[in-house]
């Protein structure tokens, strides 16, 4: 059971009864105040009642339209039936867990940005969340200010991502179709996670050019990202295993000390 303390108006602190300290603490403006001027439609999937209610109350006070679900099956249904700007999803949920929600939505071509909340730490847990289809993650405990910054970044990318890019990008026989969210090499279709798709999209849009790790991190994870920067190397490794290795290619190059480059390379 979570304890919610309100030492001052519109200030909230949700803490664990197990002595581990606060799960989240924040202050937010009064009702009707939109601190940033941009309302976001959010689906919040969290089974801890007090934490969910406290965070949803804060987001609504900031002017956002928030719908909440207390278990995975309810959250999955809402995500499938309605349109949201961002989905916030805990990993450890009843009925259907956060990993399964992400995977099912991506399989159904629902590309709403997903922020995963987790009490689990470590780069492999984070990589598992991202590879399941999540766009970002936040490890408990966290502050409301950080949560809000992550949500704003995801909403911006969801609203503006890809607007200025051509719908189809090519490098030799490697093709990325943004409109159909489809990747092929020759006649073979390649299944990519959302994160892999976005990284490949940036490299294809600059094919033949070296793209710095810093630019990739900014464009894919956003400037507010404060996790392990080595996560980019993990996803580049995933991409190579999908777009190059099965086809006996080496098109995704490492530019030592700088970043990565995609080239049109024929079979070895």
Domains of the chain, by residue range, sit at 3-160, 168-262
**Where do the DSSP E strands lie in the chain?**
3-5, 11-15, 22-27, 41-45, 65-69, 86-90, 114-118, 136-139, 142-143, 168-171, 174-177, 182-185, 188-190, 210-212, 252-255, 259-262
Residue 213: the pLDDT is 93
Looking at residue 212, its pLDDT comes to: 93
Task: Quote the pLDDT of residue 103.
Answer: 84
Q: Do domains 3-160 and 168-262 have the same CATH topology?
A: no
pLDDT of 161 reads 47
Sign of torsion, CA 43 39 140 123?
positive
pLDDT tens track for 154-201? 887 765 444 444 678 899 999 998 878 889 999 999 999 878 998 999
- pLDDT at residue 243 above 70? yes
Residue 31 has pLDDT above 50, yes or no: no
The pair of three-digit structure tokens given for residue 85, joined into one six-digit string: 């700007």
| Residue 17 vs residue 74, higher pLDDT | 74
Question: Once rounded to an integer, what is the mean pLDDT over residues 40-62?
Answer: 92
128, two tokens? 């598992």
Within 10 Å of residue 86's Cβ, how many Cβ atoms? Answer: 25
pLDDT of residue 163: 44
pLDDT number for residue 175: 94
Give 148 or 228, the one with higher predicted confidence.
Answer: 148
Q: What is the CATH number of domain 3-160?
A: 3.40.50.2300
Give me the residue label for tokens 């400037």: 223
Q: How confident is the model at residue 15 (pLDDT cuts 50, 70, 90)?
A: very low
pLDDT mean over 220-228: 75
Mean pLDDT of 63-75: 94
Are 222 and 261 in contact by the 8 Å Cβ rule? The answer is: no
As its CATH architecture, domain 168-262 has: Orthogonal Bundle (1.10)
pLDDT at 41 over 60: yes
């Amino acid at each position: 059971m979570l304890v919610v303390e309100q030492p001052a108006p519109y200030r909230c602190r949700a803490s664990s009864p197990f002595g581990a300290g606060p799960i989240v603490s924040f202050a937010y403006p009064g009702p009707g105040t939109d601190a940033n001027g941009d309302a976001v439609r959010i689906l919040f999937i969290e089974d801890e009642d007090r934490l969910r209610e406290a965070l949803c109350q804060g987001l609504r006070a900031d002017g956002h339209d928030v719908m909440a679900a207390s278990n995975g099956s309810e959250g999955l249904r809402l995500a499938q039936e309605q349109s949201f700007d961002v989905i916030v999803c805990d990993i450890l949920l009843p009925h259907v867990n956060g990993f399964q929600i992400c995977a099912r939505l991506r399989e159904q071509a629902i590309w709403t940005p997903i922020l995963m909340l987790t009490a689990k730490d470590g780069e492999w847990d984070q990589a598992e969340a991202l590879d399941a289809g999540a766009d970002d993650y936040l490890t408990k405990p966290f502050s409301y200010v950080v949560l809000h910054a992550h949500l704003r970044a995801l909403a911006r990318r969801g609203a503006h991502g890809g607007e200025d890019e051509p719908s189809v990008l090519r490098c030799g026989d490697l093709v990325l179709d943004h409109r159909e969210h489809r990747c092929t090499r020759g006649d073979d279709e390649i299944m990519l996670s959302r994160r892999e798709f976005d990284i490949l999209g940036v490299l294809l849009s600059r094919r033949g050019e070296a793209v710095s790790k810093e630019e990739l991190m900014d464009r894919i994870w956003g400037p507010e990202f404060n996790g392990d920067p080595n996560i980019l190397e993990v996803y580049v490794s995933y991409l190579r295993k999908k777009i190059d290795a099965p086809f006996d290619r080496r098109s995704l190059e490492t530019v030592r000390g700088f970043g990565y480059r995609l080239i049109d390379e024929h079979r070895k």
